[in-house]
Structure 1
Amino acid sequence: MFASLGLMVSLLALGACAPLQGTSTRKKLLLVSFDGFRWNYDHDVDTPNLDAMARAGVKARYMTPPFVTQTSPCHFSLLTGKYIENHGVIHNMWFNTSTGQKLPYYNTQGVSSWWDNGSLPIWITAQRQGLKTASLFFPGGNASYQGEQVNIKKVERLFHKYNNATEWRQNINLVMEWFTKDNIDFVALYFGEPDSTGHKYGPESQERKEMVSQVDQTVGYLRKSIWEHGLNSTLNLIITSDHGMETVIKEDEIHLRTVANFSFQDIQFELVDYGPQGLLVPKPGKLQHVYEALKIAHPKLHVFKKEEFPKRFRYANNSRVTPLVLYSDPGYVIHGRIKVQFNKGEHGFDNEVMNMKTIFRAEGPAFKSGLEVEPFESVNVYALLCELLEITPEPHDGSLDATRHMLLKSAEADHSTWRLALVLCSAAFLGCVIGIACFLCSGKKY
């Protein structure tokens, strides 16, 4: 009798533990960025597909990017979970303060030493933990990190036109193939709009509104493609952006060349004429003179010595940041030796300015539905990506606490499952011991 009882206990316990062996809850993940999509661009345009995604998943009221609100720095914060001063991609342009050399955005994408500055993007972290990843036009995807590249990548051409809706659909088709045929686990997909249109025509223009409609139609095509490829139960989708867009003010502009007591002859290196932010290296012995001249140059211009730059920006504490840092108030851009900026829309402003805020949408098997959440910082997205991919993150500045409430199953639930599994397996082992002991003590012989 005791032997039968012990054997029954062991079998029940083993049966409870056995199904946990070899199971995995990991889903695939697609991160999509529509560059320069301001947080309220869907307020004055009909966006049925983005609205449908919000009803099916999660929508944030807005998301706050890091400073400086530029494309490459903000995207690298998404990929690393770090503020810009900590990951070191401080500008869209690579530069050398000793030689004066500067590279434009496209060329900077291929300079691995600019990106590989001690912080690993999620592509490499995931690959080192057994996953397969891909990048399509995503900033940072064309670089090597500690000698490693993303498994699959597609890089845009020089002078690439980002507004081609046909190409957008072709790229989505390619991503679907990566997921279904190449068994990719994580893809980062980048679209250069509505940023380009916002720059050229301004964020309040009809052209921008039409581009937002094109974005929304593309979101609809993407969501439909996910269903048609049978990925709706295995793929989590996040749609976000890097920053917003501000209308450029053309009156009372900031021109450094006209500032009293200031001369570019006192400057060893300059990176201005790039929206509302500037980096200066004065010649030896000229720092204080240049600082005092520019400090009172224009009521909308803010000039700081590197060590005095406001800590809230989490920007200046990096060796790549120059001794003088400049930024201007919303709408004002900084002109240098001659006027070369003619955009009607710009970004790069203070990240607390509402027009710099951006979007966050998410849906899929991991997310709750019909949930609108309070704003959060974009450095928190990285921890969410790692949670969805079930990988161990690198050290970062964000927290899963900022996004955990979006998920159907929290990390605590996952940990509880494993604790339960451990208890059940321990019970199985104990049941086996009891069963064997009872059998040996029964005195029966066969």
Structure 2
Amino acid sequence: MGCQRALLSSVALLTLFFLVDGIPLHTELRRNKLLLVSFDGFRWNYDQDVDTPNLDSMAQDGVKAHYMTPAFVTLTSPCHFTLVTGKYIENHGVVHNMYYNTTTKVKLPYHATLGIERWWDNGSVPIWITAQRQGLKTGSFFYPGGNVSYQGESVNVSRKEGVLHNYGDEKEWRQNIDTVMKWFTEDDLDLVTLYFGEPDSTGHKYGPESQERKDMVLQIDRTIGYLQENIEKNNLTDNLNLIITSDHGMTTVLKNASDLVEFHKFPNFTFKDIEFELLDYGPNGMLIPKEGKLETVYEIIKNAHPKLHVYKKESFPENFHYANNNRITSLVMYSDLGYVIHGRINVQFNNGEHGFDNGDMDMKTIFRAVGPDFKKGLEVEPFESVHVYELLCKLLDIIPEANDGNLRITLPMLRSGSSHLSYGKLPLGFLMAMTLLRRIF
């Protein structure tokens, strides 16, 4: 009975706010579907040294950003979670590709971390869950963070790749697209996030300037063409918005430089003073010195190498929006573009790498969007990836969670009149009543 009374009270509140504000009670929402596609490690200018007719057609028929600035630290999982939460990394808490525990010293690799629920579910709710709580159906295909539960709720439909998954299999890419099309047409999903692990893998192995990377971009462009063909074939052109973006860029590793960043060669430094270390993962690292050794270690390494920037956690540059999280250790560091950090021994041999300062142009990435709600032939100024989430919520007509983005940054991409029933313009009381209804159910 109490639940019924609460429901009746909520309905009464909703009715009152609709009548007072002149909003029609029987407004029929025309909500378009949304497909967010990420090609991991696609640098902002990868389309400039190869022919990409399908990416080019997206720019002609929709919206292109000159480039997009990812969040720092420019790693796969943290940056992908920013896209679906609208939060800087220090605020959503997925601060690294690896799960780690500074007490037990456990460190798990990227693929294992994808399934560690407590790493992802630590206070932030991604867009899949928010959309489902507001009556939509969502799916995640290989997207980082899409295969765990948040506050006890899981994505309606999801797929997770295996540890030995071949990210570059073009035939499988097309099969994945076919599956996603069925999700939209047969399962009537409203939102799907689709992830491809290229050109990141190829960029790491061969370097961003290699012919192999260029060939992979050609494969990606063919795949975008296949996707566009299937959107049309499945009669989704008029009610599906497509966004293609990425998590970060890629740069060439200076493997043969005479001044490598090597902790094991720093004068007066010893790992005997270190309680916990997270090094040898590209150009960033974390340390916890043993009790009483913080100042000693900091003074030794802060000027140990001109390409290495070491900070106490509380002094880390605020513009990175990274260190103000309890998962960040007492000492945090990153190196200059092209330099990776070597710990006890040199174990990093990639020809390409990311994780550098998100202000470096090689870390910038792409943004393309096309569909019934987007303007045509519009190129917009660069913007930060933290603003994408609010755009996604706007396209889906859902109330966003608290976030660090600003819809005003991306709103000019949309056609006038493309917004449906804009929750962002509704009274606070209405939003509160909607929230109450969601809690009841």
Q: Same fold (TM over 0.5)?
A: yes
Distance 1:124 1:101 in 2: 29
Structure 2 residue corresponding to 1:141, chosen from 138, 146, 149: 146
Contact 2:80/2:247 (8 A) holds in 1: yes
The answer as to 2:237 corresponding to 1:232 is yes
Q: In structure 2, do the counterparts of structure 1 residues 384 and 325 end up closer, same or farther at CA, with 3 Å as the change threshold?
A: same
Match of 1:183, as an amino acid? Answer: D
Q: Deviations over 1:344-367 (max 9, x none)?
A: 000000000000000000000000
CA distance in 1 between partners of 2:40 and 2:306 (Å): 30
Residues 134-283 of structure 1 mapped to structure 2, 5 A cutoff:
134-250=139-255, 251=257, 252-283=259-290
2:340 aligned with 1:339: no
CA distance in 2, matches of 1:220, 1:85: 37
CA-CA distance at 1:413 after TM superposition: 8.1
Cα shift readout 1:186-242 (whole Å, capped 9, x = no counterpart): 000000000000000000000000000000000000011000000000100000000
Asked if the contact 2:395–2:419 (Cα under 8 Å) also holds between the matched residues in 1, the reply is: no
Q: Secondary structure at the match of 2:104?
A: coil
The corresponding residue for 1:324 is: 331
Secondary structure at the aligned position of 2:55 is classed as helix
Q: TM-score, normalised by structure 1?
A: 0.88
Identity %: 66
Contact 1:28 1:234 in 2 (8 A): yes
Report the 3-state secondary structure (helix = DSSP H, G, I; strand = E; otherwise coil) of the residue aligned with 2:105: coil
Partner AA of 1:344 in structure 2: N
Deviation at 1:119, TM superposition (A): 0.4
Counterpart residue number, 1:93:
98
**Partner in structure 2 of residue 365 of structure 1:** 372
Alpha-carbon distance, 1:411 to partner: 8.0
Distance in 1 between residues matched to 2:92 and 2:418, nearest whole Å: 26
2 CA distance for matches of 1:412 and 1:137? 29
Query: Residues 97-127 of structure 1, C-alpha deviation per residue, up to 9 Å, x if partnerless?
Result: 0111100000001111000110000000000
Contact 2:42 2:198 (8 Å CA) reproduced: yes
The reply on whether 1:66 has 2:71 as its aligned counterpart is yes
Tell me, in whole angstroms, the C-alpha distance in 2 between the residues paired with 1:57 and 1:308.
42
Distance in 1 separating the partners of 2:148 and 2:24: 42
Aligned to 2:14: none
Instruction: Tell me if structure 1 keeps the 8 A contact 2:373–2:418.
Output: no
Secondary structure of the residue aligned to 1:219 is helix
In structure 2, what residue type is equivalent to 1:319?
N
Query: 1:86 is matched by which residue type in structure 2?
Result: N
Residue 423 of structure 1 corresponds to: none
Aligned 8 A contact 1:404 1:410 in 2: no
CA 1:18–1:281: 2 relative to 1, 3 Å: closer
**1:258-317 deviation line (CA, Å, top 9, x unaligned):** 101110111011000000000101100111111111112111000000000001100000
Provide the rounded CA distance (Å) in 2 between the counterparts of 1:353 and 1:22.
47
The residue number in structure 2 matching 1:422 is: none
- Tell me by how many angstroms 1:21 deviates: 3.0
Q: Is the 8 A contact 2:354 2:363 kept in 1?
A: yes
The whole-number CA distance in structure 1 between the counterparts of 2:285 and 2:416 is 44
> What residue number does 1:401 align with?
408
- Residue 111 of structure 2: SS of its match in structure 1? helix
Provide closer, same or farther for how the CA distance between residues 415 and 387 of structure 1 changes in structure 2, counting only shifts above 3 A. closer
Aligned match of 1:119: 124
Instruction: Sort the Cα spacing of 1:415 and 1:395 in 2 relative to 1 into closer, same or farther, 3 A.
Output: closer
Q: Mark the runs of 5 or more structure 1 residues left unpaired by the alignment.
A: 1-16, 420-446
TM-score by length of 2: 0.89
Q: Which amino acid aligns with 1:389?
A: L
